């Protein structure tokens, strides 16, 4: 039976008459430390990437003057503290942040590579920072807001985040289990060279699939039948039969469309426990989201606000604004920004598009459930497979999607005689 691909696109509300096709993603940089499998896949697909070393800055509340700037090249270009007026105090702050990061890397390397501190995999990130004496100001002003932006969740959620997913687990749960603190040290950042971005990747992956086998804007409502005969149902169409079904969907959606049989009851209950948080991405031309002075502008600007934000759903979030035209050879004549979880709305006439989507928020319990249920028993049970970043070890990123997809393919190949 030849396979079919079902995909429901993210809805996008556009302002003005301008069509903007920026991906609804808060990050476009790929580093060998975080994305080894994804970069290898891009190479196999002949999708070109170019070096694009990431720089970023942090600021508080309403101030657009950063209290810390990271100048890129894995720290070799140094740090800046423009909000500090005194030269001596600025020098001391740079030394403080630098030594704090070096100490953090030593702890992480001892844990991940020399097998120290095995308890880390069983505690939260807040417990990790406290028990392993991570400098308090460094963790509050750099680590927590940074990973709040990376994981697109509240700062309070990062404190409850499983420390092992950030620092790395030992023993590693998978060969690609990463230490997200030190993994980028000594590696470069890359971005897709094509102006079409990840649409180039989608085309490369799907170009060999007959167009009549790809169904867009076709949300599935349920799966009926049993192995090896399944049918897929949308609002007014039925597809099938299929002997194997791969669900590349968020955990709660997978739970809602699984067959209502006793065999899938424990899997459905497990899927329903996974928590997702809403994420808002706005593409706009409002320059008030970045520092006014060009000398203070970097690729990414992280804005923290302790007081109540205008966008209530983003309360407790760290606002991150990507300057799309900062280094892009295709947008040099434009002034376009993309803000994730904005604490206030851009001026209405400057909004080009905005998108809501949901992202998995791991917990110690969901990590345990993934290892106990989906690593073995849940995958391939009765011909149903699961793919997504929520299944992989580490922070939910595109790397986890590739990892889980490769894992499913390898398992299906190993079971090929049974699937025929």
Please state, in angstroms and rounded to a whole number, the distance separating the CA atoms of residues 391 and 386: 8
Condensed to tens digits (0 to 9), the pLDDT of residues 133-163 reads 999 999 999 999 999 999 999 999 999 999 9
Span of 199-213, 310-324, 388-402 with lowest mean pLDDT: 310-324
**Residue in the block written with tokens 């499983």:** 162
Q: What is the pTM of this model?
A: 0.83
Which range has the top average pLDDT, 3-17, 91-105, 181-195, 365-379? Answer: 91-105
Residue 284 pLDDT exceeds 90? yes
Contacts (Cβ under 8 Å, ≥6 apart) of 127: 163
Can you tell me whether residue 382 is helix, strand or coil?
A: helix
Q: Sorting pLDDT into bands at 50, 70 and 90, what band is 332?
A: low
Higher pLDDT, 364 or 23: 364
Q: What is the pLDDT of residues 365-387, one digit of tens each?
A: 888 888 877 766 678 888 899 99
User: b/e for 177-216, b at 16 or more Cβ within 10 A?
Assistant: bbbbbbbbeeebbbbbebeebeebbeeeeeeeeeeeeebe
Among 249, 274, 245, which Cα is nearest to 367's?
Answer: 274
Beta strands in 129-228 (DSSP E): 189-192, 214-216, 222-226
User: In whole numbers, what is the pLDDT of the chain averaged over residues?
Assistant: 82
Let me know how long the chain is: 420
User: What are the pLDDT digits (tens) for 77-87?
Assistant: 789 999 888 89
pLDDT of residue 413: 87
**Whole-number pLDDT of residue 28:** 63
pLDDT, mean of residues 266-270: 87
Neighbours of 55 (CB within 10 A): 20
> pLDDT tens, 167-226?
876 444 454 455 567 666 667 788 888 877 788 888 898 888 888 888 877 788 899 988
What is the C-alpha to C-alpha distance for residues 130 and 403, in angstroms, rounded to an integer?
32
Residue 317 is given by DSSP the state P
């Amino acid at each position: 039976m030849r396979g079919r691909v079902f995909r429901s696109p993210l809805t996008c509300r556009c302002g003005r008459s301008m069509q903007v096709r920026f991906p609804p993603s808060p990050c476009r940089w790929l580093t060998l430390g975080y994305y080894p499998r994804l970069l290898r896949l891009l190479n196999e697909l002949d999708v070109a990437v170019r070096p694009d070393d990431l720089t970023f800055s942090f600021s508080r509340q309403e101030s657009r003057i950063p209290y810390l700037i990271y100048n890129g090249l894995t720290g070799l270009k140094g740090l800046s503290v423009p909000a500090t007026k005194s030269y001596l105090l600025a020098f001391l702050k740079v030394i403080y942040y630098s030594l704090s990061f070096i100490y953090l890397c030593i702890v992480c390397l001892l844990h991940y590579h020399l097998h120290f501190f095995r308890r880390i995999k069983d505690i939260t990130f807040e417990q990790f920072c406290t028990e392993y004496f991570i400098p308090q100001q460094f963790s509050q002003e750099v680590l927590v807001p940074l990973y709040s932006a990376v994981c697109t969740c509240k700062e309070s959620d990062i404190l409850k985040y499983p420390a092992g997913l950030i620092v790395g687990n030992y023993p590693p749960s998978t060969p690609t289990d990463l230490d997200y603190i030190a993994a980028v040290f000594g590696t470069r950042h890359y971005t897709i060279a094509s102006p079409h971005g990840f649409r180039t990747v989608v085309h490369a992956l799907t170009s060999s699939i007959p167009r009549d086998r790809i169904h867009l804007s076709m949300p599935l409502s349920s799966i009926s039948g049993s192995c090896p005969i399944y049918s897929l149902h949308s609002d007014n169409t039925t597809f099938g039969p299929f002997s194997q079904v791969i669900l590349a969907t968020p955990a709660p959606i997978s739970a809602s469309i699984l067959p209502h049989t006793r065999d899938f009851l424990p899997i459905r209950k497990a899927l329903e426990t996974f928590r997702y948080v809403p994420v808002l991405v706005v593409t706009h031309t409002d320059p008030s989201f970045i520092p006014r002075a060009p000398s203070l502008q970097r690729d990414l600007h992280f804005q923290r606000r302790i007081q109540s934000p205008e966008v209530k759903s983003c309360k407790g979030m760290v606002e991150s604004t990507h300057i799309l035209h900062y280094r892009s050879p295709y947008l040099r004549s434009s002034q376009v920004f993309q803000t994730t979880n904005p604490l206030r709305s851009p001026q209405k006439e400057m909004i080009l598009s905005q998108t809501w989507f949901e992202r998995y928020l791991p917990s110690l319990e969901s990590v345990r459930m993934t290892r106990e249920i989906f690593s073995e028993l849940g995958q391939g049970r009765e011909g149903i497979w699961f793919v997504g970043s929520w299944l992989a070890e580490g922070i939910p990123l595109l790397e986890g999607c590739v990892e889980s997809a490769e894992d499913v393919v390898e398992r299906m190949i190993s079971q090929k005689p049974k699937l025929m």
